[in-house]
Structure 1
Amino acid sequence: MTSVFKTVSKWLEVPHPILSCELRQVLESLLEVVNSILRLEEIENEKALREIVSKLPQVSCTYTNDDAGIVKVTFLSLEFPSLDTNRFVYELFDRFVLSKSRCFELESKAYTFEFKAKDMPRLYVADYLIHLSEKQSYERFKEKVMILKEQLRLALLNKNFSFRLALSHHVRLDRKITAIHSQVLRYIEEKGEEFDTQFLLDVDRWLMAFSQDFLEKRSPLLLAKALFNLISIRRELEWKETIDSSKRHIQLSFFPSSLSFTFGTKPVLGCTIGVGLNPSCERFVEKHLSSALEAVIPSANLSISPEVHLEKSNIQMMYVEFEKEDGMRFTDEEIDKLKFQLPIEIEARVQRFVPELFMVRNEEEIMKNILTLTKEIRSAEDFPQVTVRYEQHDEETLVFCVILVRILKEGQDSVTEAFSKVNHSLTLIPERTQIVSYLGGKDPVEANVFRVQLSDVNPFTRRNFSFNFFEARHHVIEVIEAAVGEIRDYNGGMILKQSENLVRFKQAFSEVDSENPEFLEKFFYSLNPIEIQATIETESLKLFFETFSSLLEAEEEGFFSYRFHRKGSQLFLFTRCNDHHFRTAFEEELEKQDLKHKLMISSSLLHHGFRYEGVIFDNHEEIELQLEGILKTYLKHQIKPKVLNLNLETKIFLDPRIGGDHQSSMINKMLFEGLMRLDEQGTPQLAIAEKVEVSDDQTCYLFTLRESYWSNGMKVLAEDFEYAWKKILSPGFNTRFAYLFYPIKNARLAKEGQCSVDEVKVKALDDTHLEIHLETPTPYFLESTTLGLYSPVNSYIDRIHPNWAQERGDRFICNGPFRLRENRSFYAFELVKNHRFWNQDSIKLDHILLSRVNSRKATELFCTKKLDWLGPPLGYGRSNFSQLGEKIHYLPTTKSLWYLFNNQIFPFTNHKIRQAFCLAVNRCEIIGTNRDCMLPAYSHLPLNHTELFRGHEGMEENSERAEQLFKEGLDELGISKREFPQVTVIHYNSEASNRTSHLLKKQWREILGISCRIEPYEFADLFERLGRGEFQVGCFCWISWINDPIYTLNIYRNRDEKLNVFFWEDREYQTLLDLADHELDLDKRLEYLHEAAKIFSNQHLILPIYYEYERFLKSENLQVPIINNLGFVNYAYSRFK
């Protein structure tokens, strides 16, 4: 054993001579484990050591005391990339072994070892002492341990498999399941494609769905092949659905196999089938498949009922086995026939369910009105008789239909000519002019039918942006009188009748009226013809409104929907869409099918962004059939909604209190609206706040909230802001972003548990007033309130349903421009326009679809016009952008690339070592050919903040000075360069940071003569590792969310700040920041901040590499507001040209 120790000690890392004695004891324990597990007597060289590594992981399971039932379990393994190995192994051991056995843990210990040998991974050893009960079978216990060993082996082979192990809590583990996992990984390796953790989790879901009997009768090879094809086909079909959802996509895969039984085997043909269905009105089940199979090969049958898996999507997946009546195998010719003909037969047998529709309509008699007005003219001296009725409107125009009957005198101007001589803003749209009779046989009576369109509707717009019909109508009458002289407003006397009907209508819906009286008025005055408002029976009006209300409640029915209601002799119809061409197209179809004159009543109004068109017809069956045909034809040719397609490449948190990272914040700003928001110049503007008042000393802010609503219809209250912010400041809530609230008085004290959260000076004075007191004047406070973390949450919902942020659809409560819909297959999130958003008129998109695919698939989607944005800030920048032939755009950001030195871990506890590493770089080499989007960084502050400090000394490169400082640092540490440990650099797993890390490794080796190991991590894992201080050198991308240098400087004000991974603080530094906090003179304030920045820079804890203008590609016709210098992309306000 001594010889083994002497040999191996050459290759094991000894961090510091002081630790040698303690480490020797640990090393001897390690070598004992190595020898007991691998049965090696001596390790002579590095090659032998690498052979040991290649055989890992290994597990030893032995009795230490037979009488006491104590078992020692030892794991010897490499570290698992991107995971906390000790926690990972222990949780698996506890989950799959201890919790499944009648035993308990007595003791455990674990070590991690680092080899000096170049590029050798770290070694992990863990010992567990387990007490087994008397009835517990040692062999069964050992079997579980060995199965776990095989799972760990697979996890070392495939990083995604290790993530799958960490996430899977309900999958049973036995040798067969493990063999299936191993075979699936082999298929993945053979395909050479990118399969993520979700692929392996899907394998587990299918395994849980299969019965034990089904699994026992099939080999691991067959099951793995079936599972691999099931999941691959489903993903392929989801991809095809996104490209063309108008087609029915069907995909099959066949593989001959055999089933084992007690007394023999039976040949079968395994088949995985994927069928695209509309689950609400289509189905495909066993009898349909059996019929399709019989049509292709009459002698074939289903061997088993299909294993169906819907997953709440429109892709139905099933695994089935076919057998022949004669028990023979399927020939190659028969399999080819099935491949070609079975998809055709399946498509023909998809069963469709079409809901029954009822429709009818009636009357619209212009001529009747003309005749009525004609009868009112009894002499040549009578005034022209006029009716003015509402026709239609949209956001910008209001249209009235006018019938004017008059005595046509010789030489008199036509109506069109008369209007042209009057100064007015109306647009005249003539429809018809005709002589309808002769008064006394000689004076012609002329009837004019025309529309007048008011393009300037501002004078008639009410507070809720609805039009005041009465004022608009009165204006039309005034213009008509100015054009043709004094007239008689024939239906003006009906306004009284209208008012009486409106009162009765409001009484019938008193509850609605008390909550929103303008809503009922808007509906009532939308009825056409206008005179019907005075004559319609209250019962009919109630039924019409109820039909409309039923459509309002069906918010998830998409772009176009409608409702019918039949009562007595009337048929009520309401449609909803967001296509302003629909009404015109609908009227044209009514005209073509000779239905327009049968229309009795119509209604047209805009509500929450949708157009609602209502009609009442006589209840005739033939009219219903005609209307059904019109609507179906329209649905086939409907105009597609405006949809923005984006792709996510990082994990997103949808609770604004948790989603403090840059990507989550951008998604949350689509879903939530705070007190303020940034305009395109990066200036804070009023949002939910209608007004803000600031005290003279700039420490008290009073926000007055505008009337706005949550997506569930509840009002947004001042309490919702107070509640959300104080939740973040609760001591028990773990977040790295609480510092953003520290300008608020007592916020820091509350977070640290030194005072009650109730003492934080944020107070809802009432429903619409929020008062905030600050510790000191804070020039950037209003800008802070634009951050996603400052969003409100519905306090009522959060108290009774604290899991609302994990919900989808109506159960996810938000107040922003968009709301969350139920997830569809392929998409990570689907956002739809929130029609309760206070500023919805400025939102031009209807949907935002967020997929989550790898970079290769994202590039493919963009190149095929299925993705509108490729690259940052939601995705990664790529060097191959220039090869795609698209225009490259640049995102101005405050982004800086840093490398952090852990001053708590040897050897970076030494200042001169850190300084040497900072000077031993060549930024120009790192930037290379990326000068179009990168600038060398010599300060840890963002570029636009560095420029505020003229003359600020940075970290210039100096290789000679670096060598000198490195030598001095080694002397202070008492070690030689030969003894200097290998440095581990961890970085974000992206193309840019990987390239930069390897160049730094090269430069440090050339200048300082040291070796480095590079370890990539996913962002969340990297962030956690940095936060826990588990790094030597860590790569980090810094983005300042506030356009003020103090945002960056504040991170290192106190050692206990969550983002202060160095645990560094300095009294002079704190004093300067305190002075800056209290300084009202902005120039003097900048001087304090400049001095503080120099103090921190001189610690050489951060090596700034470059500032980056991130590159991205976007659809040519997409216009997206970008906040200058902050890199925040406001996707919610995007529009397509």
Structure 2
Amino acid sequence: MRKFIVTTALAAALAAPAFAAQPAEGENLADQQGLNYWILDAIKSLDPQLTTTRTDSDMIRQLFEGLMNEDEAGAMIPGAAESHEVSEDGLTYTFHLRDANWSNGDPVTAGDFVYAWRRAADPATASEYAWFIELMNIANASDVVKGDKSPEELGVKAVDDKTLEVTLSKPTPYFLKTLSHATTYPVPQKVIEAEGDNWTQPGKMVGNGAYVLQDHDLGVVATAVKNDQYWDADNTIIETVKFVTVNDQNIGLTRYLAGELDWMDSLPAGQFPRLKEEYPDQTVTVPWSCSYAYLFNLSDKGPEALKDLKVRQALAYGVDRDIIVDKILQGGQEPAYYWTHWATEGFEAPDIEMSHWTQPERIEKAKALLAEAGYGPDNPLKLTIQYNTSEDHKKLAVAVQQFWKAIGVQASLANYEWKVHTDRLQNQDFEVARYAWCADYNEPSTYLDYFRTDGYNNGKWSNADYDRLLSESATAENPAELYRQAEQILIGDMGLVPVYHYAKAQMFKPTLKGVPLENVMNTWYAKDMYRTAE
């Protein structure tokens, strides 16, 4: 089969160093090359095929490396694969792996990727991200995930130790963008088979990334140290990376200002204006491809009231997004009237009718809709809003509680720790729940596929026309138009309450160099950073 190198961008990337940790002329490196990074919630899993959270993925990205990485602007660059080719019909990708070792000295092979991808799709693994393998459109993925075909029939094979061949079921323009996601990272088969569920523990974990897990005090701190076996170890400057868990953002800020943390990438609500004035060289806000929303439980376990579109519309209209963004958060966020983050590459925003109304108009319409649905002073709608532990999430939940009170809804609040919150979401044990989705790759389908009937979709909203549009978008000449139509359906049926599009209001020490500020995914690699002397 005749093939050709896919992009000139890749060729250019190959001609340049594949690392960004390059001190500028005149900069002196600090004696201590460490990074103390703040996280809000304890790490849930460090298994690439079992993780579901952004926090976990940020650490996993230091410990493992996929076929592709992202540069400081979010462009795809070589990772474990130093080059690739694609067939003329767009269905077969051939990746050529660089010479690299696992942290135990074993060579990284194409078979390691085959094992990992089959493992992700295998129902026996019970990966909550098995759908991601389907989303990549790997041949036979859906049948494997459903258990109708064996994992060995997944469209991925090792031609030899250094050559990986991937067969897709249909051309997928965003396929390469999926390859920096944790689900696609290789994992060491013999270690997993020997250690079982304990293979991710310090001292047992074997990875192919720039760092190795040294210790992990769950909910306190996880420490990774430089992996001397990493293929680019000679150009990796940061020696130690610590993920420090602080459940209270205000306490996290206090610890940052005291010098205990080097990077806090989510400032407490309302603090950015003051901090930017007091610490202008440490404080910045940039768009971040995540969207904040309240999910409705539309499954059989959800409240009957939410099955009524009028109720869902009333609840969405009742939320004053301008107060949330301008008065509570104050960190560069944008009000959301649709799901996909506005800065997503290739996204054309839909024209959502309620975005043109004033808030008093929305409140008036919300009250009328609730009355039509049979709710009022003598029969108030009662709901519970679930959120995970965070002062910011609490502030927003309290605000929404008050917004809904203004339209006659009695909302109570239920707070759970992160793991319990996510478990309840995945089991549909909620009524209305705070949720956020951060893009897995920089393309609109990463948001829209969430709400497919067979997507991750914790609220179990379902619409056949929506599913059809997303299926057609995979091979469409103009997928942006289909994405726009899908957004219109999602919001027209009010499958959720979109609240705001994220920005990363953050602080990091002036001596920390290489923090990516132009990548809307906010994907970062400690190997691309360094510390300068004070």
Q: Which residue of 1 aligns with 2:222?
A: 829
Counterpart residue type for residue 708 of structure 1: A
Distance 1:989 1:807, change over 3 A: closer
Q: Which residue of 2 aligns with 1:918?
A: 316
Counterparts of 1:77-88 in structure 2, within 5 Å, are none
Query: Of 173, 176, 187, which residue of structure 2 is paired with 1:793?
Result: 187
Q: Which residue of 2 aligns with 1:151?
A: none
Deviation string for 1:819-872 (max 9, x for gaps)? 122468996222111111112233111112333345465444322323211243
Aligned partners of 1:948, 1:799: CA distance in 2, in Å?
A: 43
- Residues 1:1136 and 2:531 aligned together: yes
Deviation string for 1:245-289 (max 9, x for gaps)? xxxxxxxxxxxxxxxxxxxxxxxxxxxxxxxxxxxxxxxxxxxxx
Whether the aligned pair in 2 keeps the contact of 1:919 and 1:959 (CA below 8 Å) is no
Aligned partners of 2:333, 2:482: CA distance in 1, in Å?
A: 29
Shift of 1:955: 3.6
SS of structure 2 residue aligned to 1:895: strand
- Residues 1:985 and 2:385 aligned together: yes
- Residues 1:731 and 2:126 aligned together: no
Aligned partners of 1:829, 1:989: CA distance in 2, in Å?
A: 20
Distance 1:650 1:950, change over 3 A: closer
Whether the aligned pair in 1 keeps the contact of 2:376 and 2:408 (CA below 8 Å) is no
TM normalised by structure 2 equals 0.85
Query: Of 1040, 1045, 1053, which residue of structure 1 is paired with 2:444?
Result: 1045
Shift of 1:767: 0.9
- Residues 1:900 and 2:272 aligned together: no
Shift of 1:1111: 1.5
Aligned partners of 2:162, 2:338: CA distance in 1, in Å?
A: 44
Counterpart residue type for residue 55 of structure 2: Q
Distance 1:926 1:1100, change over 3 A: same
- Residues 1:1101 and 2:499 aligned together: no
Query: Of 332, 337, 342, which residue of structure 2 is paired with 1:938?
Result: 337
Q: Which residue of 1 aligns with 2:172?
A: 778
Q: Which residue of 1 aligns with 2:14?
A: none
Counterparts of 1:397-476 in structure 2, within 5 Å, are none
- Residues 1:1017 and 2:411 aligned together: no
Counterpart residue type for residue 1121 of structure 1: V
Structure 2 residue ranges without an equivalent (≥5): 1-29
Aligned partners of 1:1042, 1:954: CA distance in 2, in Å?
A: 28
SS of structure 2 residue aligned to 1:647: strand
Aligned partners of 1:987, 1:955: CA distance in 2, in Å?
A: 25
Query: Of 97, 108, 112, which residue of structure 2 is paired with 1:716?
Result: 108
Shift of 1:881: 5.7
Counterparts of 1:798-877 in structure 2, within 5 Å, are 798-809=192-203, 811-822=204-215, 828-855=221-248, 858-872=252-266, 877=268
Shift of 1:914: 0.7
Distance 1:924 1:857, change over 3 A: closer
Query: Of 640, 649, 657, which residue of structure 1 is paired with 2:40?
Result: 649
Greater fraction helix:
1
Whether the aligned pair in 2 keeps the contact of 1:871 and 1:877 (CA below 8 Å) is no
Aligned partners of 2:488, 2:166: CA distance in 1, in Å?
A: 33
Aligned partners of 1:895, 1:785: CA distance in 2, in Å?
A: 19
Shift of 1:1050: 1.2
Distance 1:1117 1:712, change over 3 A: same
Counterparts of 1:960-1109 in structure 2, within 5 Å, are 960=361, 962-964=363-365, 966-972=367-373, 974=374, 976-1006=376-406, 1008-1054=407-453, 1056-1057=454-455, 1059-1079=456-476, 1081=477, 1084-1109=478-503
Q: Which residue of 1 aligns with 2:159?
A: 765
Aligned partners of 2:318, 2:218: CA distance in 1, in Å?
A: 50
Whether the aligned pair in 2 keeps the contact of 1:882 and 1:888 (CA below 8 Å) is no
Counterparts of 1:255-404 in structure 2, within 5 Å, are none
Shift of 1:1039: 1.1
Aligned partners of 2:419, 2:397: CA distance in 1, in Å?
A: 19
Q: Which residue of 2 aligns with 1:1119?
A: 513
Whether the aligned pair in 1 keeps the contact of 2:287 and 2:343 (CA below 8 Å) is no
Deviation string for 1:265-320 (max 9, x for gaps)? xxxxxxxxxxxxxxxxxxxxxxxxxxxxxxxxxxxxxxxxxxxxxxxxxxxxxxxx
Whose RCO is larger (CA < 8 A, sep 6+)?
Answer: 2
Shift of 1:1135: 0.7
- RMSD over equivalenced CA pairs, Å: 2.5
SS of structure 1 residue aligned to 2:35: strand
Q: Which residue of 2 aligns with 1:750?
A: 144
Counterpart residue type for residue 315 of structure 2: F
Shift of 1:798: 1.8
Distance 1:1103 1:715, change over 3 A: same
Whether the aligned pair in 2 keeps the contact of 1:910 and 1:969 (CA below 8 Å) is no
Shift of 1:723: 0.6
Shift of 1:651: 2.1
Whether the aligned pair in 1 keeps the contact of 2:317 and 2:365 (CA below 8 Å) is no
Distance 1:1014 1:748, change over 3 A: same
Q: Which residue of 2 aligns with 1:87?
A: none
Whether the aligned pair in 1 keeps the contact of 2:66 and 2:80 (CA below 8 Å) is yes
TM normalised by structure 1 equals 0.41
SS of structure 2 residue aligned to 1:1071: helix
Q: Which residue of 1 aligns with 2:18?
A: none
Counterpart residue type for residue 898 of structure 1: A
Distance 1:765 1:723, change over 3 A: same
Aligned partners of 2:218, 2:145: CA distance in 1, in Å?
A: 41
Distance 1:923 1:880, change over 3 A: closer
Counterparts of 1:145-164 in structure 2, within 5 Å, are none
Which protein shows a greater Rg?
1
SS of structure 2 residue aligned to 1:1074: helix
SS of structure 2 residue aligned to 1:704: strand
Q: Which residue of 2 aligns with 1:123?
A: none
SS of structure 2 residue aligned to 1:928: helix
Q: Which residue of 2 aligns with 1:688?
A: 80
Aligned partners of 1:779, 1:954: CA distance in 2, in Å?
A: 31
Distance 1:935 1:826, change over 3 A: closer
Counterparts of 1:567-606 in structure 2, within 5 Å, are none
Deviation string for 1:441-475 (max 9, x for gaps)? xxxxxxxxxxxxxxxxxxxxxxxxxxxxxxxxxxx
Aligned partners of 1:680, 1:1130: CA distance in 2, in Å?
A: 9
Aligned partners of 1:774, 1:889: CA distance in 2, in Å?
A: 41
Query: Of 284, 293, 296, which residue of structure 2 is paired with 1:889?
Result: 284
Deviation string for 1:641-660 (max 9, x for gaps)? 41222233312122111223
Counterparts of 1:698-709 in structure 2, within 5 Å, are 698-709=90-101
Distance 1:860 1:919, change over 3 A: closer
Whether the aligned pair in 1 keeps the contact of 2:42 and 2:245 (CA below 8 Å) is no
Q: Could you tell me the percent identity over the aligned residues? A: 26
Aligned partners of 2:429, 2:54: CA distance in 1, in Å?
A: 23
Shift of 1:970: 4.4
Counterpart residue type for residue 123 of structure 2: P
Counterpart residue type for residue 698 of structure 1: G
Aligned partners of 1:651, 1:854: CA distance in 2, in Å?
A: 8
Aligned partners of 2:129, 2:404: CA distance in 1, in Å?
A: 34
Deviation string for 1:399-422 (max 9, x for gaps)? xxxxxxxxxxxxxxxxxxxxxxxx
Aligned partners of 1:1013, 1:992: CA distance in 2, in Å?
A: 17
Distance 1:670 1:854, change over 3 A: same
Distance 1:1117 1:994, change over 3 A: same
SS of structure 1 residue aligned to 2:433: strand
Q: Which residue of 2 aligns with 1:254?
A: none
Aligned partners of 2:344, 2:507: CA distance in 1, in Å?
A: 27
SS of structure 1 residue aligned to 2:125: coil
Whether the aligned pair in 2 keeps the contact of 1:693 and 1:703 (CA below 8 Å) is yes
Shift of 1:1062: 2.9
